Structure 1
Amino acid sequence: MDGDQLKTLIVFGALLLSTPLYAAQLNLELGEDSRTWQTEELLKHPQIQTITIANDVSYKRDMTYRAVPLAALLTGIKSDDHLQAVASDGFAAELAAAPLLASAGSRAWLAIEDPANPWPPRSEGTHSAGPFYLVWTDPRAGNISPEQWPFELASIKRLAPVAQRFPALLPDPALKADDPVNKGFALFQKNCLACHRLNGAGDAQFGPDLNIPYNPTEYIGADFLKRYIRDPQSLRQWPQARMPGFTTEVLPDEDLESLVGYLKHMAGRKVKP
Structure 2
Amino acid sequence: MLTLAVLLLLGPSAPGGDLFARPLPADAARAVVPHRVMTWNLCNPCGAPDVDRAREIALYAPQVVGLQEACVSDVERIRDYLRRYYGLVYHAAYGPVLHHRGRCGGTPWNPGGFGQAVLSAAPMTDRVAVEYPEGGSEDRGYLAVTTTVDGRSVRVLTTHLAQRRQKSVRARQADVLAAEIARYDRAVVLGDFNARPAAPELAPVWSVAADADSRCRPSSLAGCPTTTDWLARFDYVFLRGVTALGQRVQPTAHSDHDLLYADLDLSH
TM-score (normalizing by structure 2):
0.28
TM-score (normalizing by structure 1):
0.27
Rg (Cα) greater in structure: 1
